[in-house]
Structure 1
Amino acid sequence: MNKNESLAALYREAGINGLLSPPESNPKVAKNGKLGVAASVLHLAAGDMSGHEVCPKRSPGCSAACLMTAGNPAYLQGKTQARIKRTKLYFENRDLFMNILVLEIAKAIEKAKAANMDPAFRLNGTSDIVYEKKKFKLYPWVAEKLNLRHFDNTGTILELFPDVQFYDYTKIPGRTPPPNYHLTFSESEINAEDVAKEMARGLNIASVFPIKAVPKTHLGRPVIDGDEHDYRPADPAGVIVGLKVKGLGKQDATGFVHT
């Protein structure tokens, strides 16, 4: 391997410092630790902030309440610019983006196992990309470095790590992800028909509520506390994942935040 065949070299080529946020960087994601799970999250620039749409089924209420507005305001500008860079890289140099992601996932897996924890990955922290359909070319030296010679060089990130758990929220109906990709369908103020169809397909539904008004039942299902942790694959089947409103969503007047 020469000096241009390293993660550091890929960072320089891409003009970024990294893709994944470690488990401890988000208080809610850090709570996964009590389940023995170390989950790393990929945050892109939500909606079309980067000039590229990453949330094709977003509603007006979803856009206004976006988690891009949550967190410490002092770091918001820098955080947003970093996410815009990542998003542009995803659309403008997909193979470079994905090979960086592969190497970062491999590092995160090693770190989790060293801590005697199960690795997990949420690739849509602030986006809604159908990763089960996004194929890319794995660089030969990356395949060699990680002993991934079984990869056919035109597959998906989920196929590359079949024994690793991925999970996300989505508003895109009808998805059929592989077994290692768990999806929770997100309710908005305009997708009642999609919610009904996804419930019929067996998916759990995530709904946003006022901080002090999370009900015991919603849509005829029991509501669990979705803020106890972020690891949705651990949720029981047939529930509503109740999420307390955050960021600018506290000012919602669209019906996105359910009462």
Structure 2
Amino acid sequence: MLLRQNAKMAKTLVDTATGRPYLSAGVTLAPHNLSGHNVCAGASKGCAASCVLWFAGLRGTSTSRNAATRDTQWLFGHRRSFINQLNRDIANHVRRAERDQFVPVVRLNVASDLDWTDVIERWPGVQFYDYTKIRSRFASYLAGELPPNYALTFSRHERHHTATIASYLRRGGNVAQVFDVEYNPQCGRVGGAPRNGPHSWPTMAGDRWGQARHSSTVDRRPRRCCWFTLKG
């Protein structure tokens, strides 16, 4: 099984349209190039050195790390077999959600930043969501070029310029950022909140509301900064 729940995803969120809670599951690969395959093309030195999906909580155990590494090597070594299993897992996830009166949502990049368009397009009735640090992918999302059932949030690291973040917000995108702590001791702070003259944007506490909330999975409210504290 590739599609699993974890502590970061098991938050109780309710679909505002139906009143039903979400059932979220995701694929957790080994981040950056820790498996021998780079799954985070937009990673900076800071985020690679302090990835919460490798150093925080149960992700630091050998069992979790070995499973993530094994799944990543499966993807790159036997992609067709991997995709077939993933589609079976999504089908089972949808059936479970329907049986228990949940709304199914799926995050394919829990600890990676890969292009899953082919899988997402196969499941138009399922809501997918992710974070990305890849500017070209987020530009495609803002231009409406990605599947309509895919909600994407830009994840800022220490090398992203404030003006870039402000431009994403002006265009209706959502941004996640670590704040008020050192992003990584070797790299320093990420920087201040994006400003653009008289413009300002609402913020949400990501640690309180969880992954799907600010990724627009719930209500697709645009132009929000979601703030996280550093973990690990």
For Structure 1 versus Structure 2, the TM-score category normalised by the shorter chain is: 0.7 to 0.9
Q: Is residue 198 of structure 1 aligned with residue 168 of structure 2?
A: yes
After superposition, the Cα gap between the structure-2 partners of 1:127 and 1:225, relative to the gap in structure 1 and judged at 3 Å, is same
Q: Which residue of 2 aligns with 1:218?
A: 193
Segments of structure 1 that go 5 or more residues without pairing to the other structure are: 1-17, 133-155, 212-216, 248-259
1:163 Cα offset (Å)? 1.3
Pairwise mapping of residues 1-259 of structure 1 onto structure 2 (< 5 A)?
Answer: 18-22=1-5, 25-26=6-7, 28-35=8-15, 36-67=21-52, 68-72=54-58, 76-132=61-117, 156-175=118-137, 176=140, 177-192=146-161, 194-210=164-180, 218-219=193-194, 220-227=200-207, 228-231=209-212, 232=215, 233-234=217-218, 236-247=221-232
Q: How far apart, in 1, do the equivalents of 2:113 and 2:164 lie?
A: 15
Change (3 A) 1:221 1:169: same
Q: Which runs of 4+ in 1 moved over 3 A?
A: 32-35
Aligned amino acid, residue 228 of structure 2:
L
Shift of 1:237: 1.2
Find the residue that maps to 1:174 and give its secondary structure. helix
TM-score normalized by the length of structure 2: 0.79
Length, aligned pairs only: 198
CA RMSD between the two structures: 1.9
Are the counterparts in 1 of residues 169 and 224 from structure 2 also a CA contact under 8 Å?
Answer: no
Identity %: 34
SS of 1:218's equivalent? coil
Which one-letter code corresponds to 2:113 in the other structure? D
* Counterparts of 1:90 and 1:72, CA distance in 2: 22
The answer as to whether partners of 1:173 and 1:194 remain within 8 angstroms in 2 is: no
Gaps in structure 2 of 5+ consecutive residues:
16-20, 141-145, 182-191, 195-199
Q: Kindly provide the amino acid, as one letter, of the partner of residue 72 in structure 1.
A: L
Q: 1:240 to 1:108 in 2, by over 3 A?
A: same
TM-score (norm: length of structure 1): 0.71
Partner Cα distance (1:76, 1:32) in 2: 25
SS at match of 1:39: strand
